[in-house]
Amino acid sequence: MALNVELIAGPGREQMPQPFDGEVFILSRDGLALEISHGPTRRPPMKGVLYVTNMRMVLVVDSKHIATAQCESMELPFQGIEEESFNQPIFGTNNLSGRCKPYDNQPFHGEIRFRLKFYEGGVGTFLPIFNSVLGATRRILYQRRQQQQQGSVQDMPQQTLTNQVISGQFQQSAYVDPSDPTRLYVTQPLSSSVRQRTSTAHVPFYP
């Protein structure tokens, strides 16, 4: 998890996370809020637009709520997400909760828990895509652990999910829930010239 990641102006001048090399955008969604607690500390809710890529989820805080949220963005890398659960309370908002590990040199302490609240529409499109990317990430993690235990130095297998996103196959096969306001990116919203490179403090891997 990381606070205030690098942002860049999108095609409509909206703020978007600046992508890493190898990172591709899958979807975006607004009408939600992210709540974070770490140790005894509970951060103010962050309302804005959520971007999901093949590496991470990034909540970009709406400009009207930056003062309240006390930050501009929050990143949840798929490689750090654990104990995820989709919750449908009888009274309250549908939400996705879980834990997320922080990167080094981040202002968090203790166990970090998140809750992503969906205030508008359903999740029939969003949730299967989230599960697909998280599952692909975990398969890569498992393969890496197996290689380390075996002392193998083989290259990782071809990044299947990323190639499917780039070709549009992944988006075309996604279920489209009419009640879900999720926006799928059939083409990439940013050019390759704006990508972050090796100067970044952390780079999530991708499946």
Provide the pLDDT for residue 188. 87
Provide the pLDDT for residue 62. 94
Instruction: Retrieve residue 132's tokens.
Output: 């697909």
Write out the chain in H/E/C secondary structure: CEECCCEEECCCCCEEECCECCCCEEEEEEEEEEEEEECCEECCCEEEEEEEECCEEEEEECHHHHHHHCCCEEEEEHHHEEEEEEECCCCCCCEEEEEECCCCCCCCCCCEEEEEEECCCCCCCHHHHHHHHHHHHHHHHHHHHHHHHHCCCCCCCCCHHHHHHHHCHHHHCCCCCCCCCCEECCCCCCCHHHCECCCCCCCCCCC
Q: Please state, in angstroms and rounded to a whole number, the distance separating the CA atoms of residues 7 and 13.
A: 11
Q: Please state, in angstroms and rounded to a whole number, the distance separating the CA atoms of residues 116 and 99.
A: 11
Provide the pLDDT for residue 27. 95
Provide the pLDDT for residue 169. 83
C-alpha distances (whole Å) from 137 to each of 12, 71, 96, 154, 161 are 30, 27, 18, 18, 9
Query: Mean pLDDT, 10 residues at a time, over the chain (207 residues)?
Result: 90 91 92 92 93 95 93 93 95 94 81 94 95 89 77 57 83 88 90 60 54
> Phi and psi of 150, rounded to 5°?
-90, -5
Closest CA to 112 of 162, 149, 75, 148: 75
Provide the pLDDT for residue 132. 92
Provide the pLDDT for residue 207. 54
Q: Please state, in angstroms and rounded to a whole number, the distance separating the CA atoms of residues 26 and 168.
A: 10
Provide the pLDDT for residue 198. 46
Q: Please state, in angstroms and rounded to a whole number, the distance separating the CA atoms of residues 136 and 18.
A: 22
Provide the pLDDT for residue 205. 53
